[in-house]
Structure 1
């Protein structure tokens, strides 16, 4: 039997917070709760959760600020709950370190599945690092330290952006389908996460250079190999 994983649920609506908490506890997770921004940061530091389910709209300060603060303290997978399926909002969340998102209203079954997938992704990260090319021209990756340099300058990636880069770098020049990337990076085979993948690729390009990740329309993405 594995170690029980701890999840922090941050949601200011008491009914939703308790419903999510009860469902996760029923699925075998140890759950701690917070209802506002400052409380979320405090509980995160005290409880040291393995994953955070985080609502965007919170009293005190919003979920984006919570995510920014906790990721600066310790990288942790974050599933954001958003009231709008708006790409701009989603990209802001991904930019401060969120790993995936669910739009309200959502099904509890899907939330539990996303939580499980994100935790599996963390478990798979070490395995992925072992087969990654660490030097690709002026792009250098240190899988053990989870650090990246472009032309000698270090680039800060969110946990998911780093894992996405690792997956692409494991097969440089090879076109990987969105479905393959979603299964490898998010650990959820058979699910449709194409928008999630596209949003993360867009965020990754903004940090490592737009020309480094090639789009093959209708298929997926490839990490460009350096030209001699």
Structure 2
């Protein structure tokens, strides 16, 4: 079960990891060739042109950490919330692959911090999965719905499964639900015990976390999947 869960999470992280074709604005965005990107735009290239996997140049620049290219594309009115074949926006890509600066740039231009891809995965879930504490913190500051979840583990449960104590602490300190049930009706504390995450279990206790059996004994019952969705 544990192996299957980790495999599922990893699959969500890796979906769409492809490279752009050669000799296009997309390739120039990937390699950080700002002169070439400027020339493409000057020659009338569509700033939101979709290439392989429906990636726009902004998707690629965001994923590969090309800050100057991101700034250039945004200054040319690139669609900050464009979605690729998997429903991922440039913010999903930046949160997933760890560029805080680019995440800041995208949000400043109106990127939806609660956007969900076709699997229902949010930027916060990707950042938690990748262990990007600074990005998790930034998304929280920018008003992300910390308990929003439509697919798979919540950000808190992801931090438990992956053993990321600092991220779990950050989430709990910012009102992550310590007793939300997953699809198997397990609470975060149940998961912490199952995965032998003693430090995180202690954190959960400090934030009111309880096991499913404890909640049931208190008369709360055994609810079905209760992750918050939108």
Please give the TM-score of this superposition, normalised by the length of structure 1: 0.32
Bigger proportion of residues as strand: 1
Q: Between Structure 1 and Structure 2, which shows a larger proportion of helix residues?
A: 2
Rg: which structure is higher?
Answer: 2
